[in-house]
């Protein structure tokens, strides 16, 4: 069966450091992968989409890599700030249409 694993439930880092979150998947051949941010009691907010033919994508302090051989995506937040504290979700397209399957998420806490 298809699985999406975000292998760190929680990650605590100090302000200013780089946070690196991991998403591994099995039994998928995704055309793209997405990362979302979710704050408590709120819906997910789209951050980045990376396609299978792209190795890396950047947006401001965010960087995503996509290794289809390793079946892994890494999500980096550089110069992290306490405001970056949230749960980050990795999502892959479901078999049917454009629906998404989500990982359980990694809760990031950035302390001053």
Partner 1 sequence: GAVVSQHPSRVICKSGTSVKIECRSLDFQATTMFWYRQFPKKSLMLMATSNEGSKATYEQGVEKDKFLINHASLTLSTLTVTSAHPEDSSFYICSARSGIEQFFGPGTRLTVL
Residues that bind partner 1 (CB under 8 A): 32, 34, 36, 41-46, 49, 89, 93-94, 96-105
Q: Using the minimum distance from each CB to partner 1, give the nearer residue, 98 or 112.
A: 98
Distance CA 73, CA 102 (A): 13
Q: Which is nearer to partner 1, 21 or 103 (CB)?
A: 103
Q: How far is the CB of 1 from partner 1 (least distance, A)?
A: 12
Give the shortest CB-112-to-partner 1 separation in angstroms: 25
Q: Rounded to an integer, what distance in angstroms lies between the CA atom of residue 69 and that of residue 19? A: 23
How far is it, in rounded angstroms, from Cα 37 to Cα 105?
9
CA–CA separation, 63 and 50 (whole Å): 10
Least Å distance, CB 40 to partner 1, is 10
Separation between Cα atoms, residue 111 and residue 83, nearest integer Å = 9
Side-chain-facing half-sphere of 34: CA atoms under 13 Å: 15
Closer to partner 1 by Cβ: residue 14 or 60: 60
**CB-nearer residue toward partner 1: 69 or 95:** 95
Q: How far is the CB of 35 from partner 1 (least distance, A)?
A: 12
């Amino acid at each position: 069966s298809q699985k999406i694993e975000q292998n760190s439930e929680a990650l605590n880092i100090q302000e200013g450091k780089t946070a690196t979150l991991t998403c591994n998947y099995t039994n998928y051949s995704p055309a793209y992968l997405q990362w979302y941010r979710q704050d408590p009691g709120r819906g997910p907010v789209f951050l980045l989409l990376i396609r299978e033919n792209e190795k890396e994508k950047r947006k401001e302090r965010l960087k995503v890599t996509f290794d289809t051989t390793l079946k892994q995506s890494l999500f980096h937040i550089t110069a992290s700030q306490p405001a970056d504290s949230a749960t980050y979700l990795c999502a892959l397209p479901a078999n049917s249409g454009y629906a998404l399957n989500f990982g359980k998420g990694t809760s990031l806490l950035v302390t001053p």
